[in-house]
Amino acid sequence: MDENPFARSRRSNLRLLVSRTFASAQWTRSQKRLRKTPCSLQCSQIVARIKSQYNAKNVAGMARFGISAKNTYGLSIPTLRKMAKEIGRNHSLALLLWETEMHEARLLAGFIGDPTELTPSQMDKWVAGFDSWDVCDQVCGNLFDCHPLAHKKAKEWANSKEEFIRRAGFALMAALSVHDKKATNAQFLSFLPIIKKYSHDERNFVKKAVNWALRQIGKRNIALNKAAIKAAKEILAQDTKSARFIANDALRELQSAAVQKRLRERK
């Protein structure tokens, strides 16, 4: 006689629940052990773990996307996120990892840093140390955007002459557009004059971040969409190579049927 499919399904769900409960308990025990380990020792262990997973093929692939091979070990973002989940928030450890100057350690620092313990001077120090677009974007989008001074810092950094500091300003604007659900339209409208001001910057990592910020602001709601489209048309009138790239790409997305439909449904 065939087994009742509902009974089989219940047993399957029970096994899944037991498995998840066991995994959760293991993760909790792992975190407790980590909390008892001095941060300096944890940092050394993490550095050794990163080095043990060196992947030359990934490093070469990252270099093709403009990521320096210096102090880079080729670990993927999902791998680092898994490590961050094991560790949990640990700001003291994040500061130590940052000081190693290892590419993956700095990415990990951005994942485990605590925005409630992060100081403005630490933010400025980290930004000054950015030397790759991925570390810049991940730290801005996973840590800095949660800080109370994020909007202020975005404007401050965007006005810097340094390439990666300026990129950080616009990357932070983009991240805030997605993650800061409580921010007002006025806060994002105040970014648009800065976006227009630096649309002449031909540097690749800057112009792409300027474009990114403009597009993300314009996808937040209908009012900001209209404002971003207007800004894009004004940027287009600058008639420089970078301005044309920034404006045309933004207009293509912001005026698309898909984006317009999504914004109308969100009202």
Q: Are 100 and 176 found together in one domain?
A: no
Q: pLDDT digit string (tens) for 167-189?
A: 999 999 999 999 999 999 999 99
| 92-148 pLDDT tens trace | 999 999 999 999 999 999 999 999 999 999 999 999 999 999 999 999 999 999 999
Asked if the structure places residue 4 within a domain, the reply is no
Q: Choose one of 95, 114, 133: the last residue of a domain.
A: 114
Same domain, 132 and 258: yes
pLDDT at 244 over 50: yes
Q: pTM for the complete prediction?
A: 0.86
Q: What pLDDT digit, counting tens, does each position of 179-218 carry?
A: 999 999 999 999 999 999 999 999 999 999 999 999 999 9
Do 157 and 218 lie in a common domain?
yes
Residue where a domain stops, chosen among 69, 87, 114: 114
Same-domain check for residues 102 and 139: no
End position of a domain, from candidates 54, 79, 114 = 114
Residue 58 belongs to a domain: yes
Cβ-contact 221, 185 below 8 angstroms: yes
Q: Which domain holds residue 170?
A: 120-267
Instruction: Note whether 105 and 151 are same-domain residues.
Output: no
Residue 231 sits in a domain of what CATH number? Answer: 1.25.40
What's the whole-number mean pLDDT along residues 157-167?
98
Do 212 and 247 lie in a common domain? yes
28-49 pLDDT, tens digit each: 555 555 567 889 999 999 999 9
Does 177 lie in the same domain as 136?
yes
Asked whether residue 172 is assigned to any structural domain, the reply reads yes
Helices (H), ranges, 37-76: 39-52, 56-64
The mean pLDDT value for 231-244 works out to 98
Specify the DSSP class assigned to residue 185. Answer: H
Number of domains in the chain: 2
Residue 188 counted as domain residue: yes
Whether residue 84 sits in one domain with residue 213: no
Q: What is the torsional sign of CA 90, 95, 97, 98?
A: positive
